[in-house]
C-alpha cells in the first residue's frame, strides 16, 4: 500500500446489551494507525479517520492486512445491528480511486462493493 491515502467513516452500530465491555476488550487487543479511530459512544461502535481501515494485534505484524477481517469477524456477533464502513482513497493521486463498502452484520462480514482496479483483495 505504498502511497495509498484513504478516508474512512462508518455508521454507528449498536452493541448488544451487556457486550460493551467485551467490545472494549477486543479494541484493546489491537493497534490502530495514528490517524484512524475506532470508538464506542453511547453503546454504539464507529470507525473514522484519515487512513484505510486496518489494524493488527498488539503482538502482530502491522504489514499483515488479514487482521482487519479477523477483527471485524470477532466483533460481528456482538453487534445488534448492521455496521456500515466506507473507505475511499487513491494511490499517488492517480486514477482510479478505490472505494469499498463493508457491511458487518451480527452474522458476519460482507464486502458490498468496490470501485477501482486496486479493489479489496489488493489492499488487504
Residues 120 and 98: beta-carbon distance below 8 Å: no
Domain locations in the chain?
4-119
Taking only the tens place, the pLDDT of each residue in 27-78 is 998 887 778 889 999 999 999 998 777 777 777 776 666 778 888 999 999 9
Cell numbers found for residue 21: 465491555
Taking only the tens place, the pLDDT of each residue in 71-102 is 899 999 999 999 999 988 887 777 777 888 88
Q: How many Cα atoms are found within 13 Å in the side-chain-facing hemisphere of 124?
A: 17
Topology of the domain covering 4-119: Alpha-Beta Plaits (3.30.70)
CA angle, residues 48, 112, 108, in degrees to nearest 5:
80
pTM assigned to the model: 0.81
Amino acid at each position: 500500500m505504498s502511497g495509498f491515502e484513504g478516508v474512512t467513516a462508518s455508521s454507528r452500530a449498536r452493541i448488544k446489551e451487556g457486550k460493551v465491555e467485551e467490545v472494549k476488550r477486543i479494541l484493546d487487543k489491537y493497534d490502530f494507525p495514528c490517524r484512524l479511530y475506532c470508538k464506542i459512544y453511547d453503546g454504539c461502535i464507529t470507525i473514522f479517520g484519515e487512513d484505510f481501515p486496518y489494524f493488527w494485534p498488539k503482538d502482530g505484524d502491522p504489514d499483515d492486512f488479514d487482521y482487519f477481517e479477523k477483527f471485524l469477524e470477532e466483533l460481528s456477533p456482538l453487534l445488534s445491528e448492521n455496521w456500515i464502513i466506507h473507505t475511499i482513497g487513491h494511490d499517488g493521486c492517480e486514477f482510479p480511486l478505490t472505494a469499498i463498502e463493508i457491511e458487518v452484520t451480527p452474522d458476519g462480514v460482507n464486502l458490498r462493493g468496490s470501485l477501482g482496479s486496486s479493489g479489496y483483495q489488493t489492499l488487504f
